[in-house]
Structure 1
Amino acid sequence: MLIALPLLAIPVVIYNIVILFGAGGGGGMAAADDILRQPMFSIPMASGASWNVGVGDLILFLSLILLFFELLKSTSSQKVAIVNHALSMILFVVCLVEFLLIRGFATSTFFLVVTMVMLDVLAGFIVTIISARKDLDFGGA
């Protein structure tokens, strides 16, 4: 049943921990941006420039990787996939409420995470509908 949990809940939980505990208990918008953009480490590039990587960048990177695996999971036609779609929809609603109502969540980083969760929801339902239609077409022949 663990496979039914949406993987994109991981970056959402990490973002919540970083913002709610790292910004002094849900500090303001400026505090959230500072936490997300503060460089954790720097990578020297061949051009001589250095690439500064912050917490927000790592959250987005993790989200993209997990979105890939969520899209792969959405192609499954098992019964657990429907539970996954429902939990993904609940996660999207929670993320949308946080984005709209809680200070510190109205950042570009969280908006992109919310967008990835929404794409997971849409892809899951679209793939399920298309595969169900194909099952009906083959069943009628």
Structure 2
Amino acid sequence: MWFVFAVLSAIFAALTSILAKMGIDGVNSNLATAIRTIVVVIMAWGMVFLTNTQSGITAISKKSWIFLILSGLATGASWLCYYRALQIGEVSKVVPIDKLSIVITMILAFFLLHEQFTVKSLVGCILISVGTLLMVL
């Protein structure tokens, strides 16, 4: 089931880039990010109430709160940079560079989460990096 959600995530991420590029024309990138964020907040809280999971908020540990807040700050910074890059650059070049996050995530997962880094994952990281370079040069 995780695979289905991962594929859907990729499809929606692709739509995000195209729709954002189409909508950001003549709009300040920070304002566009704020509008997008409001929509995401409404959707996320809507799902919480739809699935009746709002009572779980009191069970969240202090450690989880800290890391969720840090994750939110990282997401906000990413979105602000992403929208600015989309506004001034070509979507076909911005998106591949943004997807280098895959390589960075795998490296961080190895060092911070002690996840296994195999020959296959190393080759994948190299191919993603080379592919990104080919797409943007």
Q: Same fold (TM over 0.5)?
A: no
TM-score by length of 1: 0.30
Larger Rg: 1
TM-score by length of 2: 0.30
Higher strand fraction: Structure 1 or Structure 2?
A: 1
Higher helix fraction: Structure 1 or Structure 2?
A: 2
